Chains A and B, each alone.
Chain A
Amino acid sequence: MGEASKISRYLYTVIVLFLIWLAITASLDVQELGFGLLLSLIVAAFTYEIFTTNGLANLHPKRIAYMIAYIPYFLWAMIMANLDVAYRVLHPKRPIRPGIVKCKTVLNSDVGKLALANSITLTPGTITLDVDEDEYFIHWIWVPDEALTESEEEHVKASSEGITVPFEKFLKVIFG
Chain B
Amino acid sequence: MSALTAIGEILVLIGTFFYLLSALGLIRMPDVYNRMQTSTKSATLGSLGVIVGVGIWALGTDFGSAAWLTKTIVIAVFLLLTNPISAHALIRAAYKSGIPLWEGSVVDKYREHLEGKEKAPEETPKEGGEE
Looking at the complex, which one of A97, A122, A135 makes contact with B44 (CB distance below 8 Å)?
Answer: A122
Contact of B45 with A79 in the complex, beta carbons under 8 Å: yes
**A interface: dominant SS:** mixed
Q: Residues of B contacting A143 with CB < 8 Å?
A: 106-107
Binary interface encoding of chain A residues 120-163 relative to chain B, with 1 for a CB under 8 A from any of its CBs, else 0: 01100111111010010101010100011000000100000000
Q: Residues of A contacting B109 with CB < 8 Å?
A: 100-102, 137, 155
* 8 Å CB interface, B20-57 against A: 21, 24-25, 28-31, 33-34, 36-38, 40-42, 44-45
Interface size on A, residues (CB 8 A): 42
Binary interface encoding of chain A residues 81-109 relative to chain B, with 1 for a CB under 8 A from any of its CBs, else 0: 11001101110001011111110000000
Contact of B107 with A121 in the complex, beta carbons under 8 Å: no
Q: Residues of A contacting B80 with CB < 8 Å?
A: 122
Looking at the complex, which one of A26, A86, A128, A129 makes contact with B71 (CB distance below 8 Å)?
Answer: A26
Interface size on B, residues (CB 8 A): 46
Stretch of B5-13, B85-93, B122-130 on the interface side: B85-93
A86-B21 contact in complex given A127-B36, A129-B91, C-beta closer than 8 Å:
yes
Contact of A96 with B34 in the complex, beta carbons under 8 Å: yes
Closest 9 A-B residue pairs measured CB to CB?
A26-B67, A121-B84, A99-B107, A102-B109, A99-B106, A26-B70, A118-B84, A137-B110, A100-B110
